[in-house]
Structure 1
Amino acid sequence: MLRVLFFLLACQSLILATRKILKVPLYSRRNFNGSDVFLAGNSAKGSETLQLLLQSHNNMEYYGTISMGNPRQNFSVIFDTGSSNTWLPSVNCPKSNSACQNHRKYNSSRSSSYIPDGRNFTLRYGSGRVVGYLSKDTMHVAGAELPSLTFGESLFLQHFAFSSVKFDGLVGLGLGVLSWSNTTPFLELLCTKRLVEKCVFSVYIRRDPREIVFGGFDETKFEGKLHYVPVSQWRTWSLEIAKTTVASKQIGGRSNAILDTGTSLVLVPQQTYHNLLNTLSARQQNGYFVVTCRSGSLPNINILIGDTVFPLTPSNYLMEIILDRKPVCVLAIAPINRGFWVLGDIFLRLYYTVFDATEKRIGLAKAK
């Protein structure tokens, strides 16, 4: 029986290799210390700034494994659809930067395929800042080799954002508009080197085995058919939301939305958020907007994309926290001072997502 199983697995691996499909397992970890801080204008108090302290949904982070250089140096990374650049902590980061010291660090002097670049960079994320310089080396991912990838060697990682996370660095899966000048980002290089059959990747994070598939998608991971919509903004993984309703009330109109594997929550424009709070009869308590924990009495949030509604149920958009020694429920949705949505892991856990760089489209289906 074991021989038969081994033979079947070997055949499956051969088929995947022949079709140039790369499967990267994703691992999850509960980040006990992490929380996301969102600053938003408080419409109830004019121009005063309201600080909302919201934990990531279940404080989960999803990461995969890559290697850099020859011989290989292994790293855990976030595969981030919301950005285009790749970076890893550098062995040259100062000892005073504990966020860097707490992670595995790339050492160029140990790699025979290292190519210096030397340009400085600064990246700013919603949760912190990364500073360093650019280098080139061979990335190894899911059995494939990607030579001469430009990536950042990070000398400074902002402490509060990166000190407690499991992942070491980040691989940007964006279409390139946000990449460093005169560089070819990961996805574009993967496709131009023809290391995958199609310039497509798909994301499944609902339950184990979680994975990203480069070169195609896995039909066993979703129900029904994929609903495709065009990318709404040139060279970014964004789509258009036609409208958003709660019960029979419309809380948001036409808007762009970025699909971002690097963001835990769902972020919405401030007016839409304000409308949502009113519709759900949320009340403010210790800086949080609290709603009832009786999810059965709350309606779905219905997001219309193309001609299909993608609902968020109360069990998806509620988080239980402890305030004044009592459990209360808050939203896994936060406001941003922008005119677009960010559909993070809350949304992506529910819906299998296909990112098609050739056709400039995004496919969505209910994840199994």
Structure 2
Amino acid sequence: MGLLTVVSALSLLGAAHAEFNIVRHVAPAPRAKEAAALPPAEFSVPFTAKTPRRSSKKGALAALRGKPTKKIPGKKAPGAGGSTVAVDGSDFDEEYLTNVTIGGQHFSLIIDTGSSDTWVAQKGFNCFDLDGNPVSADTCAFGTPGLDTATSKTFQPFPNVSFNITYGDGEFLSGPVGFDTVSIGGLSVSHQEIGVPTLTAWEGDGINTGLIGLAFPGLTSVYNTTDPTKASGANQLPYNPLFLSAVSQKKVKNPFFSVALDRGTFDQQENDPFDPNLGFLSFGGIAPVPVTNTAVTVPVQGYSATTGLPSNAPGSEFFFYTVDVEAYTFPGSNHVITANNNTILDTGTTLNFVPTEVAAAYSAQFKPPATLDPDFGLYIVDCDAKVPAFNVVIGGKTFTVDARDQIIPAGTDDNGNIICITGTQDGGPDVDGDIFILGDVFLHNVVSTYNPVAGEVTLTQRAKY
């Protein structure tokens, strides 16, 4: 999912309670409908860099599943008006970045549908290790010195509040909040609220200097206090993330944004830490890549504002792009329950994380079978194994996941041999409290188009590439 852990994000719902637990249940959801007629995007940006999975994301997912932290190691398409920006990727297609201008200054930022804040480190930031000890600025490994708010002609401070976020492995970002002009591709949003942290414990990649979150306001991390120790759900100040600001400023005709993530080849993933032009982030319509006729529009799953339970009742609140999965189908899938109503679509997570029994049943179908490594909680597989078919049924439509996404190189052993893992992994038991993820392994195979205003997602099967 996005950089904020599921548990800490949803705990914002429980501001009036000392403790807060998310309990998964099968909620009656509105029915899927025929796919919305999506116009071509008005603006598209290519992903321009791919960067290694940060250890905080590994830690957040490990914390989510109650397991130890793991160490796992585009061409421009024709658009119909407006501009299109490409997305690149690096180190096993683990984080997708694109070029963004803030206050006239240029940055490479992570694109994340699993979080909501736009933030960029502020010039002169203080860097810390995960124990809170001051360290040199280069230890945080940002790609630039940071945003210089003093030289931005459009930056305006937001006094007496703070941006404050802590991640599953102890990384944190804290500091001022302001408003500035954010431009991405041909889209420019004025007076966008952003975090400009000055206190950073960040295990960066030397490329990105921050992140653009595209989920819902309930996940934003601005608080009505300047003391980070007092930030809580009780004084959270939700605000419009970047795309919702673009909608409110009428910068797009249609309230859609769309993501097409390209996969790298196995050789690229293993040998090349940087892949250019790996897809598109598009605004106002569907991303400009070839698609098939298989498509459906489904409602986003909400959560009760009082109990935190998945709910589509009036008053429920959106956080993530959570959808109902009707089934995972693969050889032997008829022997396990595969439906799940608490599954997040997340560009910020490489793998699929599905219920334990589903992952075990699918892994057993590889030839030779994938085996669970007890130390890392991951299914290891022969890099040349025969991959069983894997489909995801959402809204009555079946979406196929390419076999090339199901075997991923994940580094080498002590003898220099390549270690491979499966693309669909164990996300925990199918019990109350567990939330599951369809990450890039699934998203490489569809164009996902999000309508945060209507609370809908349209999935369209991509043509084989």
TM-score, normalisation: structure 2: 0.65
Is residue 266–residue 344 contact of structure 1 (8 Å, CA) maintained in 2?
yes
- After superposition, the C-alpha distances for 1:105-152 in whole angstroms (9 at most, x for unaligned) are 111111222211142222234564322221111212223432211110
Is residue 58–residue 69 contact of structure 2 (8 Å, CA) maintained in 1?
no
Residue 285 of structure 2 is aligned to residue 190 of structure 1? no
**Distance between the aligned counterparts of 2:361 and 2:64, measured in 1?**
14
Equivalent of 1:349, from 429, 439, 444?
444
Q: CA deviation at 1:202?
A: 0.7
Task: Name the structure, 1 or 2, with higher relative contact order (CA <8 Å, separation 6+).
Answer: 2
Residue 194 of structure 2 is aligned to residue 151 of structure 1? yes
Is residue 317–residue 333 contact of structure 1 (8 Å, CA) maintained in 2?
yes
- After superposition, the C-alpha distances for 1:136-172 in whole angstroms (9 at most, x for unaligned) are 1121222343221111012234343x2x252211111
Residue 322 of structure 2 is aligned to residue 238 of structure 1? yes
**Distance between the aligned counterparts of 1:356 and 1:39, measured in 2?**
30
Q: CA deviation at 1:324?
A: 4.1
Is residue 44–residue 280 contact of structure 2 (8 Å, CA) maintained in 1?
yes
**Distance between the aligned counterparts of 2:44 and 2:190, measured in 1?**
19
Is residue 261–residue 443 contact of structure 2 (8 Å, CA) maintained in 1?
yes
Q: 3-state DSSP class of the match of 1:39?
A: helix
Is residue 97–residue 156 contact of structure 1 (8 Å, CA) maintained in 2?
no
Is residue 287–residue 447 contact of structure 2 (8 Å, CA) maintained in 1?
no
Which residues of 2 match residues 47-126 of structure 1 at below 5 A? 49-55=67-73, 58-69=92-103, 72-94=104-126, 96-100=136-140, 102-104=142-144, 105-118=146-159, 119-125=161-167
Q: CA deviation at 1:253?
A: 2.6
- Moved segments of 4+, more than 6 Å: 32-35
**Distance between the aligned counterparts of 2:355 and 2:174, measured in 1?**
29
Report the identity percentage.
22
Letter in 2 for 1:246: F
Cα 1:123–1:218 shift into 2, 3 Å: same
Q: 3-state DSSP class of the match of 1:203?
A: strand
Which residue matches 2:462? 367
**Distance between the aligned counterparts of 2:153 and 2:173, measured in 1?**
26
Which residue matches 1:203? 259
Which residue matches 1:4? none
TM-score, normalisation: structure 1: 0.81
**Distance between the aligned counterparts of 1:318 and 1:352, measured in 2?**
21
Unaligned runs of 5+ in 1: 1-18, 43-47
- After superposition, the C-alpha distances for 1:176-231 in whole angstroms (9 at most, x for unaligned) are 22124153221211101000010101111226462111011146432224321111
Equivalent of 1:224, from 293, 301, 315?
293
Equivalent of 1:306, from 390, 395, 398?
395
- Identify, as 1 or 2, the structure richer in strand: 1
**Distance between the aligned counterparts of 2:286 and 2:41, measured in 1?**
12
Letter in 1 for 2:462: A
Q: 3-state DSSP class of the match of 1:58?
A: coil
Report the more deviating stretch, 114-123 or 97-106: 97-106
Equivalent of 2:214, from 159, 173, 183?
173
Say what the alpha-carbon RMSD is for the aligned residues. Answer: 3.0
How many correspondences in the alignment? 340
